[in-house]
Amino acid sequence: MEPLFGVALGLILAVASPAHDSCTCATNKWAVCAQDGPGNCTCRLAGSDHPVDCSTLTSKCFLMKAEMTPLKEKRLWRPPHGVSDSDGIYNPDCEDSGVFKARQCNQSSTCWCVNTAGVRRTEKAGRSLSCSELVRTRWIYLELTHKRSSNAFDVPDLAKALTQLFESRYKLHPKYIAAIKYDPPLIQIRLDQNKKPRWDVDIADVAYYFEKDVNNDSVFHSDSKLTVSVNGDALAIEKLWIYYVDEKPPEFCMRQLAAGISAVVTVVVLTAGIGIAVLLVLRWLRTRTYKKFECKEMREIKAPSLE
């Protein structure tokens, strides 16, 4: 009887183990997943109770929030890498849909307005700051360089490989890839998404996933290293820059610019003043010397001869 019980227990564990292992989120390694029924795996965002759709990309706002939440693991929590915008990563306020709230604030009651990519578009101010709308980031420019090889890639082949990468790995429809330009070793990619249907991924989320992949900090659960092949030749990406263009221009005030212009004007005025003063002093010294010699000559002419 005992051998039969052992065999039955082993079969149960063998069946249960794969089911447990399959309860993961392929597109978000920070998601917390649990098997809440036979064949039913529910994943939620780390640090909150928001459900995660693992069939597509997680919003950038939710990702940044998850990064700022220490995981309960037996290791030290390391600070996340800063993003390419000037303010770096922060703990954002997100809507239930996953989009950024138009106004973001930190622990010191400092607030600012952001775009749909979560990038600051106003000066920082106090809690009284009002952000009337969440301005959409319509264009995203990706500039990357690759390691130099003996031969440059063929432009159509490179464009095809990158288009397939964004479509297969990041679920981005090719219609949002407006242009790909290549000037070895620089590659420029323009993503254009004026309006986003609910079923399409956001280009801001795509850019964030891509940036994490390039920095070897993939968000995907497999944590597989990003590999791009162009006709069998590896495309080794070295550096990446991301630029965001909104539907409306940013609302940075002119105080910093005015201060810079004022400083430049002050330096110019001081330099000009010192230059004029030096010229006046030199002119005065030259005039004084001339008069001195003139008086000496006059004395010599008027002096009586001793002979």
**For 159-210, how does the pLDDT look when each residue is reduced to its tens digit (9 = 90+)?**
999 999 999 999 999 999 999 999 999 999 999 998 888 899 999 999 999 9
Q: Scanning the structure block, which residue is given the tokens 């990064």? A: 67
CA distance 202 to 187: 21
Q: What average pLDDT does this structure show over 41-53?
A: 83
Confidence of residue 81 (pLDDT cuts 50, 70, 90): very low
Confidence of residue 301 (pLDDT cuts 50, 70, 90): low
CA distance 59 to 289: 80
Confidence of residue 151 (pLDDT cuts 50, 70, 90): confident
Sorted by sequence, the CB contacts under 8 Å of residue 140 that are 6+ apart come out as 117, 190, 191, 203, 204, 207, 242, 243, 244, 245
Q: Which of 11-25, 85-99, 235-249, 283-297 has the highest average model confidence (pLDDT)?
A: 235-249
Confidence of residue 23 (pLDDT cuts 50, 70, 90): confident
Sorted by sequence, the CB contacts under 8 Å of residue 211 that are 6+ apart come out as 83, 84, 240, 242
> Which residue would you say has higher pLDDT here, 108 or 133?
133
What structural domains and CATH numbers belong to the chain? Answer: 137-246 (3.30.70.2470)
From first CA to last CA, the distance across the chain in angstroms is 154
> Which residue would you say has higher pLDDT here, 38 or 84?
38
What pTM was computed for the model?
0.70
CA distance 27 to 120: 26
Question: How much is the pLDDT for 75?
Answer: 36
CA distances from residue 221 to 42, 213, 225, 300 in whole angstroms, order as listed = 15, 12, 11, 102
Q: Which of 35-44, 84-93, 104-113 has the lowest mean pLDDT?
A: 84-93
Cis upstream peptide for 185 (omega within 30°): yes
